[in-house]
């Protein structure tokens, strides 16, 4: 097949580095059953495990740590961020019978998210230090999850992408269903039903595109070059939007998220917020924007409207939640609204802001969930009304929680500010929308900036401030391991906040190319909903 397309820049690599990045964690999962200890088969979760074997955890740490270092090494050496197209491309015919290719490639859209998910998964394992029950299965699932999510971000073949997308549901489902809270089965079922049924729409839309308009192909770049128009394009766009919108999550498909977060343990929440939601945003960019630019130009205003609904609705919901993790989950809904608005802005600034918001939210939300998990291990409650005065006993935990709350409420000097301001600038500099539409969008989104400190700081106040000494036995404050995890999440937030080019340089070429592509299409398809203002 000819890969010499405008979106595809094949660079010859002698070694399949991307495959190694994807498969290394899976290899760890395969070794897991060979470890001495409890069960014979990691999938057989009903066998009771003997406690105190640390080998599974250490194995997962080693493999994910190595994988993360490998990512850093490969991308810093071989990835050229000035290049907009795909790099390090690998294409092997895998199952020719159904046209499935093992096709990987990395560009500015995937590179930062792969690194982000690598970091967060590694830290999630480190945060699972004290998981004892069925530990071999637990860590094997985390390793499988790491491979699956890498494949989602790197896959350049639709079927491969889809398989990875489905594959990653299984570990998350099991992680919630086995290690979650009291209502874990309800939450896990809701999660899998939402996402699995939504993926049917993804599959149908993808196959419809593959089958239409010329030779059957599943290669993403070729599909993008075809850029389906008309009703087919619109329908597929909607299919993708709902499919990926569930993951993002997008109003009104978000209700699985508070349940999932409320029941999942903290490391799994870190994965959910730090990686899974990002898949939704990434896929929107890769499929809806890159593959269906004409439909995107038509439906972008709808994305913006849903985005601002997300921002306000999520914030109001968060304010009413009485559970720390559910409140943070709703705040995720609010923050991911900025991703939708940025994508809907259809210009370089907006898309850049959406990318940065994904990276930033991944770090910040993971930090918040991690710290929540850290004090939950000590307080055994997440109910805000039952807490108070925690700062007295856990001052460092308090400092971390406050710092991540500040990051989350878009305090300048932290990454959330840069991404949200970029989204704002993206909207106002989009001359394709009428002035009224732009004004209303910014005003409502800015109201979100007022609501965020209200629900976050009132949570800080009710949990940490105040004279009441909680009914705790003498507990130790944060330990060095937790300190390191917290800093690993917050230091990048600060670095990006002070010097955003660190992150922006990675993806700028790709997002600019994406925006230029949209501009070239807008000549053909002027937005019928909004006259040029």
Partner 1 sequence: MPSAADLAWLIPVLPLFGAVATGLALISFNSTINRLRKPVAVFLLTCVGAAAVLSYAVLAEQLAGAPVVEHLFIWASAGDFSLPMGYVVDPLGAVMLALVTTIALLVMVYSHGYMAHDKGYVRFFTYLALFSSSMLGLIISPNLLEIYVFWELVGMCSYLLVGFWYDREGAAHAAQKAFVVNRVGDFGLLLGILGLFWATGSFDFQGIADGLAAAISTGSVPGWAALLLCLLVFMGPMAKSAQFPLHVWLPDAMEGPTPISALIHAATMVAAGVFLVARLEPLYSQFPIVGLVIAVVGTITCFLGASIALTQMDLKKGLAYSTVSQLGYMMLAMGCGAPVAGMFHLVTHAFFKAMLFLCSGSVIHAMEDVVGHEPILAQDMRLMGGLRKKMPITSITFLIGCIAISGIPPLAGFWSKDEILGQAFISFPLLWFVGFLTAGMTAFYMFRLYFLTFEGEFRGEDKAMQAELMAAANKDTDEEHPHHAGVLHESPWSMTMPLAVLAVPSVLIGLLGTPWNSRFAALLNPEEAMEMAEKFSWGEFLPLAGASVAISASGISVAVLAYYLHRIDLSQLIAARFPTINAFFANKWYLDAINERLFVRGSRKLAREVLEVDAKVVDGVVNLTGLLTLGSGEGLKYFETGRAQFYALIVFGGVIALVMLFGVLGNPLA
Among positions 155-174, residues that touch partner 1 (CB under 8 A) are 159, 162-163, 166-167, 169-170, 173-174
Q: Using the minimum distance from each CB to partner 1, give the nearer residue, 429 or 520.
A: 429
Q: Is 309 in the site for partner 1 (CB under 8 A)?
A: no
Task: Report which DSSP code applies to 35.
Answer: S
Q: Is 183 in the site for partner 1 (CB under 8 A)?
A: no
CB 219 to partner 1: min, Å? 13
Q: Is 215 in the site for partner 1 (CB under 8 A)?
A: yes
Distance of CA 151 to the CA centre of its chain: 14
Cβ atoms 336, 310 nearer than 8 A:
yes
Near partner 1 by CB under 8 A: residue from 145, 205, 269, 352: 352
Q: Is 43 in the site for partner 1 (CB under 8 A)?
A: yes
CB 77 to partner 1: min, Å? 25
Near partner 1 by CB under 8 A: residue from 147, 227, 372, 511: 511
Q: Is 483 in the site for partner 1 (CB under 8 A)?
A: yes
The Cα–Cα gap between 234 and 295 comes to 5
Q: Is 216 in the site for partner 1 (CB under 8 A)?
A: yes
Q: Using the minimum distance from each CB to partner 1, give the nearer residue, 79 or 507.
A: 507
From 65-73, 274-282, 395-403, 520-528, span contacting partner 1 (CB under 8 A): 395-403
Cβ atoms 229, 272 nearer than 8 A:
no
Q: Using the minimum distance from each CB to partner 1, give the nearer residue, 234 or 483.
A: 483
CB 512 to partner 1: min, Å? 6
Q: Using the minimum distance from each CB to partner 1, give the nearer residue, 78 or 457.
A: 457
Q: Distances from the Cα of 439 to the Cαs of 410, 455, 474, in angstroms? A: 21, 25, 53
From 219-227, 232-240, 294-302, 396-404, span contacting partner 1 (CB under 8 A): 396-404
- Site residues for partner 1, 10-29, by CB under 8 A, read none
Near partner 1 by CB under 8 A: residue from 68, 287, 313, 401: 313
Q: Using the minimum distance from each CB to partner 1, give the nearer residue, 66 or 196.
A: 196
Distance of CA 387 to the CA centre of its chain: 30
- Site residues for partner 1, 282-301, by CB under 8 A, read none
The Cα–Cα gap between 250 and 237 comes to 15
Q: Using the minimum distance from each CB to partner 1, give the nearer residue, 14 or 182.
A: 182
The Cα–Cα gap between 408 and 456 comes to 8
Q: Is 200 in the site for partner 1 (CB under 8 A)?
A: yes
Q: Strand 100-106 to strand 87-95: parallel, antiparallel, or no bridges (unpaired)? A: antiparallel
CB 393 to partner 1: min, Å? 11
Q: Is 440 in the site for partner 1 (CB under 8 A)?
A: no
Query: How many CA atoms does the CB half-sphere of 143 hold within 13 Å?
Result: 31
Q: Using the minimum distance from each CB to partner 1, give the nearer residue, 302 or 316.
A: 316
The Cα–Cα gap between 80 and 63 comes to 26
Q: Is 387 in the site for partner 1 (CB under 8 A)?
A: no
Paired residues of 442 in beta bridges: none
Cβ atoms 282, 113 nearer than 8 A:
yes
Q: Is 465 in the site for partner 1 (CB under 8 A)?
A: yes
- Over its C-alpha atoms, the chain yields an Rg (Å, rounded) of 22
DSSP string for residues in 123-183: HHHHHTTT--TTHHHHHHHHHHHHHHHHHHHHB-BHHHHHHHHHHTHHHHHHHHHHHS-TT
- Cα end-to-end distance, the chain, whole Å: 44
From 13-21, 24-32, 121-129, 497-505, span contacting partner 1 (CB under 8 A): 497-505
Task: Report which DSSP code applies to 101.
Answer: E
Q: Is 417 in the site for partner 1 (CB under 8 A)?
A: yes
Cβ atoms 309, 250 nearer than 8 A:
no
From 105-113, 219-227, 289-297, 410-418, span contacting partner 1 (CB under 8 A): 410-418
Cβ atoms 407, 487 nearer than 8 A:
no
From 7-15, 20-28, 48-56, 458-466, span contacting partner 1 (CB under 8 A): 458-466
Kindly compute the dihedral angle of the four CA atoms of residues 236, 237, 242, 247, in this order, to the nearest 10 degrees.
110
CB 300 to partner 1: min, Å? 16
The Cα–Cα gap between 528 and 505 comes to 34
Q: Tell me, by CB under 8 A, how many residues bind partner 1.
A: 103
* Residue 383 falls in which region: left (phi positive, over 0), alpha (psi -120 to 50) or beta: beta
> Token pair for residue 211?
């089958």
Residue 421 parent element (H or E):
helix 415-428
Q: Is 406 in the site for partner 1 (CB under 8 A)?
A: yes
Q: Using the minimum distance from each CB to partner 1, give the nearer residue, 21 or 201.
A: 201
Cβ atoms 321, 327 nearer than 8 A:
yes
Q: Using the minimum distance from each CB to partner 1, give the nearer residue, 113 or 514.
A: 514
- Site residues for partner 1, 71-110, by CB under 8 A, read 97-100
Q: Is 481 in the site for partner 1 (CB under 8 A)?
A: no
Residue 290 parent element (H or E):
helix 290-291
The site string for partner 1 over 237-266 (x = CB under 8 A, - otherwise) reads --------------xxx-x-----------
CB 294 to partner 1: min, Å? 20
DSSP string for residues in 106-122: E-TTTHHHHHHHHHHHH
Cβ atoms 258, 326 nearer than 8 A:
yes
By residue count, the chain amounts to 533
Q: Using the minimum distance from each CB to partner 1, give the nearer residue, 18 or 490.
A: 490
From 59-67, 109-117, 314-322, 377-385, span contacting partner 1 (CB under 8 A): 314-322
CB 67 to partner 1: min, Å? 24
CB 317 to partner 1: min, Å? 5
């Amino acid at each position: 097949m000819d890969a010499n397309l405008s979106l595809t820049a094949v660079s010859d690599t002698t070694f399949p580095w991307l495959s190694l990045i994807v498969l290394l964690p899976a290899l760890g999962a395969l070794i897991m059953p060979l470890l001495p200890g409890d069960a014979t088969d990691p999938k057989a979760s009903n066998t009771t495990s003997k406690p105190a074997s640390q080998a599974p955890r250490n194995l997962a740490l080693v493999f994910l740590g190595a994988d993360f270092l490998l990512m850093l090494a490969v991308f810093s050496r071989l990835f050229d961020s000035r290049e907009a197209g795909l790099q390090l491309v690998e294409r092997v015919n895998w199952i020719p019978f159904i046209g499935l290719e093992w096709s990987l490639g990395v560009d500015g859209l995937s590179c930062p998210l792969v690194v982000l998910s690598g970091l967060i998964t590694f830290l999630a394992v480190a945060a699972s230090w004290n998981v004892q029950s069925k530990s071999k299965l637990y860590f094997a699932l985390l390793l499988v999850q790491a491979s699956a999510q890498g494949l989602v971000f790197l896959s350049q073949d639709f079927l491969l992408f889809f398989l990875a997308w489905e594959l990653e549901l299984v570990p998350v489902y099991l992680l919630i269903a086995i290690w979650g809270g009291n209502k874990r089965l309800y939450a896990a079922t809701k999660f899998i039903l939402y996402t699995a049924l939504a993926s049917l729409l993804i599959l149908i839309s993808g196959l419809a595109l593959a089958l239409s308009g010329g030779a059957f192909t599943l290669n993403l770049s070729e599909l993008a070059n075809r850029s389906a128009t008309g009703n087919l394009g619109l329908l597929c766009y909607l299919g993708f939007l709902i499919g990926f919108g569930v993951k993002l999550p997008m109003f009104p498909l978000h209700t699985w998220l508070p349940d999932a977060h409320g029941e999942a343990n903290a490391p799994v929440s870190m994965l959910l917020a730090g990686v899974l939601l990002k898949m939704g945003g990434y896929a929107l960019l890769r499929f809806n924007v890159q593959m269906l630019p004409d439909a995107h130009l038509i439906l972008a205003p709808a994305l913006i409207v849903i985005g601002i609904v997300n921002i306000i609705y999520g914030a109001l919901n968060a304010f009413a939640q009485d559970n720390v993790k559910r409140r943070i989950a709703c705040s995720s809904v609010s923050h991911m609204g900025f991703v939708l608005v940025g994508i809907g802005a259809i210009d370089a600034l907006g898309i850049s802001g959406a990318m940065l918001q994904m990276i930033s939210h991944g770090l910040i939300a993971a930090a918040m969930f991690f710290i929540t998990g850290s004090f939950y291990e000590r307080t055994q409650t997440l109910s805000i009304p039952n807490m108070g005065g925690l700062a007295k006993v856990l001052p460092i935990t308090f400092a971390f929680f406050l710092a991540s709350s500040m990051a989350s409420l878009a305090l300048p000097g932290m990454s959330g500010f840069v991404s949200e301001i970029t989204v704002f600038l993206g909207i106002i500099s989009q001359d394709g929308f009428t002035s009224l539409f732009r004004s209303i969008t910014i005003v409502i989104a800015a109201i979100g900036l007022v609501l965020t400190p209200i629900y976050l700081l009132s949570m800080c106040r009710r949990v940490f401030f105040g004279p009441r000494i909680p009914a705790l036995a003498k507990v130790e404050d944060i330990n060095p391991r937790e300190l390191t995890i917290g800093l690993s999440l917050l230091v990048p937030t600060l670095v990006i906040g002070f010097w955003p080019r660190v992150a922006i340089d990675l993806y700028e070429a790709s997002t600019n190319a994406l925006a230029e592509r949209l501009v070239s299409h807008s000549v053909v398809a002027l937005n019928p909903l909004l006259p040029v203002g």
